[in-house]
């Protein structure tokens, strides 16, 4: 499991700059998610959006990005109907202020 000192009590990475694939896999394991190529696609969309705009992308924004790429991914199915909560944890970005 992840070292307790790198995750806060809600399971989010304390310092998003410490994120790496190994940490993402460990957080996914805690959330009972087996990562596949679609998960990684979403994780990198979220991380790139956050890096550029300093905020968490909404589900609508991610759908628009996927639509531009002609990619159909069921986000809720992929992240167990807790899309924003689980995807942001695994992506290592700070907890969003969006109600999740």
Give the pLDDT of residue 51.
Answer: 94
What is the residue-wise DSSP string for 33-80?
----HHHHHHHHHHHHHHHHHSSPPPHHHHHHHHHHTT----HHHHTT
Active site residues: 99
- Global pTM? 0.84
Residue 100 confidence (pLDDT): 47
What mean pLDDT is reported for the chain? 87
Inter-CA distances, 100 with 49, 51, 84, Å: 18, 21, 7
Residue with tokens 């990619």: 71
pLDDT higher than threshold 50 for residue 32: yes
């Amino acid at each position: 499991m992840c070292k307790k000192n790198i995750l806060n009590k809600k399971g989010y990475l304390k310092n998003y700059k410490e994120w790496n694939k190994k940490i993402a896999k460990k957080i996914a394991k805690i959330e009972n998610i087996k990562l596949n190529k679609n998960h990684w696609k979403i994780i990198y969309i979220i991380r790139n959006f956050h890096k550029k705009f300093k905020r968490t992308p909404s589900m609508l924004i991610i759908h628009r990005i996927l639509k531009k790429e002609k990619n159909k991914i069921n986000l809720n199915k992929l992240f167990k109907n807790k899309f924003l909560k689980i995807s942001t944890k695994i992506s290592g970005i700070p907890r969003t202020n969006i109600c999740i």
